[in-house]
Amino acid sequence: MSGLGGLNKSSDGLVLGLVQFQLPVVENPEDVTRTTEQICEVVRNTKRGMPTLDLIVFPEYSLHGLSMSMAPELMCRLDGPEISAFKQVCREMAVWGCFSLMEFNPEGNPWNSGIIINGAGEIALYYRKLHPWVPVEPWQPGDLGIPVCDGPAGSKIALIICHDGMFPEMAREAAYKGANVLLRTAGYTAPIRHSWRISNQLNAFGNLMYTASVCLAGSDGMFRSMGEGMICNFDGETLVQGSSFPMEIITGEVVPKLADQAREHWGVENNIYQLGHRGYVAKKGGAQDCPYTYMKDMVAGNYTLPWEKKVLIKDGTSCGFSIPDH
C-alpha cells in the first residue's frame, strides 16, 4: 500500500475511496432524486480532490435509507433515472463506482441490489444480496450468485452486501471465482462493530484477497449507522480504518498482483488452495473429497441443524412483516 492513503499511487495500485455516506431520510420519490444528486456530487468532488482515485464505493442503503419501505414508487430499476445518473457521473469523471439500490421486483418483494459501473459508464457487475438480514429486512433473497468482474489495475472484483459478509462461504465463493478484491457495503449500526471488523479480516485472510468495506454513518433520527470503513490486506491485517464520522471518505491503495502472488507462492496458510487439497504432504495432490456434512446436505436440499426444531424466529413477524405465502 503506497503512502498517504493512495495520494502517491504506484504503477500497479488500485486506489479505493470508501464513502461513509450520511444516512438519508427517504420518504418519497423526490427524496430519492435528491439523494441521487447528492451521491453524484460526492463522486465529482472526490475525484476532483483525489485524481488518483480508481474506484469509489457507496454503502448499502445510501440511496434509500433504513426505512425498509417497499413502496413501489421508491424502488429503482436498472433502466431508471437513478442508475442513468450514476452511469453518467462515472463516465463524466472517468472513475469506477459501486452503488446500492432497492430494486423493483414485479413478482414479489424487492431485491437489495448493488452495481459496479466502470469509467466508461457501463455496468460491469450486477449483484442481488443473497442473505438479507433476517428478520429485519424484507428483501427477496438474491438469485444471481456472486459475480466477479475485471476492474482497474489487474483487480478482479466481487461485491457482497452487509449480512452476506458474516457467512464465510460468501467470501470463499467470490475468491473461488477469481476475486482478489472483495467489496462489502452495509448499513450496520454500532452493535455489529466487533463482528464487522473480525469478519472483514477473516474474509481477507481466509481467501488471500483484499477486502474493502464501508457502512453508512450518522443518524436519520431513529437509527445511527456506524461508518467503520476499512481496507484489509490479504493477510488479514487492517490497512486503514475509518471512524463513525458521516461523510468521511476512507482512501487507500491495494496492489491486486500481490494477492495473486500470495495465492501462487504461499505454502503455509494458503487456505483457499489447501481446502481442496487436504494433506498434500502425505497424499499426492491432497485429498479432494468433501468431508463437510453441511455442504452435502445443502446440495441435497436437506440442510437441517441438530437444534432446528428449537429455533424460535423463522419469519419476519417479530419485525412487523407478514408470513410469506410462497
Kindly write down the DSSP assignment for every residue of 1-25, as one continuous string.
Answer: --SGGGTS--TT-EEEEEE--B---
Q: What is the pLDDT of residue 325?
A: 86
Q: Which DSSP string corresponds to 34-63? A: HHHHHHHHHHHHHHHH-TT--EEE--TTTT
What is the per-residue pLDDT for 238? 97
Q: Is 302 within the bounds of a domain?
A: no
* pLDDT value at 3 more than 80: no
Instruction: Report how far residue 106's alpha carbon sits from residue 147's, in angstroms, rounded to the nearest whole number.
Output: 23
Give a yes or no: residue 290 inside a domain: no
DSSP characters over 203-254: HHHTTT-EEEEEE-EEESSS-EEE---EEE-TTS-EEEE--S-TT-EEEEEE
Supply the mean pLDDT for the chain.
97
| Residue numbers annotated as active site | 60, 129, 162
User: Is 126 a domain residue?
Assistant: yes
* Positive/negative CA dihedral, 254, 259, 260, 265: positive
Per-residue pLDDT at 1 exceeds 60 = no
Specify the number of domains making up the chain.
1
233 grid coordinates: 490486506
Is residue 213 included in any domain, yes or no? yes
Q: Say which residues have a Cβ less than 8 Å from residue 221's Cβ, sequence separation at least 6.
A: 25
Concatenating the DSSP letter of every residue in 76-130 gives B-TTSHHHHHHHHHHHHHT-EEEEEEEEP-TTSSPEEEEEEE-TTS-EEEEEE-S
**Look-up of cell digits 464501508:** 214
Question: Regarding beta strands 14-19 and 55-57, do their DSSP bridges make them parallel or antiparallel, or are they unpaired?
Answer: parallel
The whole-number pLDDT of residue 2 equals 59
On whether the CB atoms of residues 105 and 85 are closer than 8 A, the answer is no
The β-bridge relationship of strands 96-103 and 156-161 is: unpaired
Any domain includes 312: no
- pLDDT tens for 282-326 read 999 999 999 999 999 999 999 999 999 999 999 999 999 999 988
With the C-alpha atoms ordered 122, 82, 42, 186, is the resulting torsion angle positive or negative? negative
Rg (CA), the chain: 20
Average pLDDT of the segment spanning 256-279: 97
- Please report the pLDDT score of residue 127 as a whole number: 98
Write out the residue range of the structural domain in which residue 41 sits.
Answer: 4-274
Residue-level pLDDT at 4: 86
Q: What is the mean pLDDT of residues 203-212?
A: 98
Give the residue-averaged pLDDT of 51-70. 97
Q: Which residues lie closer than 8 Å to 241 by C-beta, 6 or more apart?
A: 228, 229, 230, 250
**Is residue 148 within a helix (H) or strand (E), and if so which, with residue range?**
strand 148-150
* 157 within a domain of the structure (yes/no): yes
Looking at residue 25, its pLDDT comes to: 97
**CATH code for the domain of 74:** 3.60.110.10
- Prediction pTM value: 0.97
Amino acid at 143: D
Residue 109 has pLDDT above 90, yes or no: yes
132 pLDDT band (50/70/90 cuts)? Answer: very high
